[in-house]
Amino acid sequence: MKYIISILLLGLIGCANNEEYASTSLSSKDSTSSVITPYGSKFSSPQTASRESAETWKTECHVNEDNSSYYFSFSYVNTDVSIKIEKYSDTDCVTNFSVQDEDHTYSIDFDSKNYKITMGSIIKLTPQSDSAVNLYNKDSRCNYNDWKLNLTKECAINEVENQNTGDVLYCSWYFEDGSTYSSNQSILYTTCDKESYPTNLFQFTKFTIQ
């Protein structure tokens, strides 16, 4: 996840990883006119996340240029944001490759559609295939050479991403109320940038609640 949040990383983020099956960018070209829900509505991420919501928001399956794929999901609880990147070695998000978990903190002005994410220090990697195990051991990923299938190890953030502990990402979001769709499915659009709050809606990533 070199720049997830540039995605948002966090699509929130716009993040991409530097693994064989993770050279991704969460930037999306999905964009429509938005229906912003007011404070106190059923939407609680990120606007009312400090009220202990634990909603999980997830992308559709995204395909990388190397024909690998991934899902990107996140949830807010109080001032924390937890991110999960599920990576696959095919184009359909079917054949497991690995999972990346990370925790960061964020702050938001309830009257704003902007928020900041402060990068944490640890990323957890879990190889879910023999190919991931072989790659991690070959590269001595995170200075380990004893990777095993489904064994989770902790890595320093700068061993996995082009980020350092304490780095700040500037993020923006908007929300479409599910009542505007026959499926009654609410949609969150968000993305982040290292330099300033994003304003180009065509760079926002689409998330649906799980």
Q: Mean pLDDT by 10-residue block, N- to C-terminus, for the chain (210 residues)? A: 38 40 33 31 41 74 95 86 95 98 84 85 98 97 97 96 94 75 73 90 85
Instruction: Report the number of secondary-structure helices (H) and strands (E) in the chain.
Output: 2, 11
Instruction: Output the pTM of the full model.
Output: 0.77
Residue 106 has a pLDDT of 86
Which run of H or of E encompasses 170?
strand 168-176
